[in-house]
Amino acid sequence: MKRRRFSEEQIIGVLKEHQAGMSAADLCRKHGISDATFYTWRSKYGGMEVSDARKLKALDEENRKLKKLLAEQMLDNATLKEMLGKNF
C-alpha cells in the first residue's frame, strides 16, 4: 500500500481554498499535486467537513473488516459442505 502524503484535514483544507476562489491549477502547483489528484479529492471529499471525512474513513475500515469476515465465513461454509458431501 502506498504512503499517503496528505491527511483528510489537509485535503479538505485544499478544497476549501478552491471554494474560496483559488483556481485548481494554482492549487495544484502550490501543493505539488496533479490535476487528476485534485479532481479525485474533489469528487471524494467535496462538501465535507473534517468530522465527516473521519466518519467516512471509519465506515470504510468497518466495511473492509465485515467483508473479510463474510468471505472467511463463506469459505468455512463451503469447506464444511464439501466435507459432508464426501462422507456420504
What is the distance between the alpha carbons of residues 36 and 81, in angstroms, rounded to a whole number?
47
The type of residue at 38 is F
Q: Write down the pLDDT at residue 87.
A: 65
In a domain, 66, yes or no: yes
Q: List, for residues 43-62, the tens digit of each pLDDT value.
A: 999 888 989 988 988 999 99
Number of folded domains in the chain?
2
Question: Is the full-model pTM beyond 0.75?
Answer: no
Q: 34 φ, ψ to 5°?
A: -85, 165
Instruction: Kindly state whether residues 44 and 81 are assigned to the same domain.
Output: no
Instruction: Kindly state whether residues 68 and 41 are assigned to the same domain.
Output: no
Instruction: Kindly state whether residues 9 and 35 are assigned to the same domain.
Output: yes
Instruction: Kindly state whether residues 15 and 43 are assigned to the same domain.
Output: yes
In a domain, 80, yes or no: yes
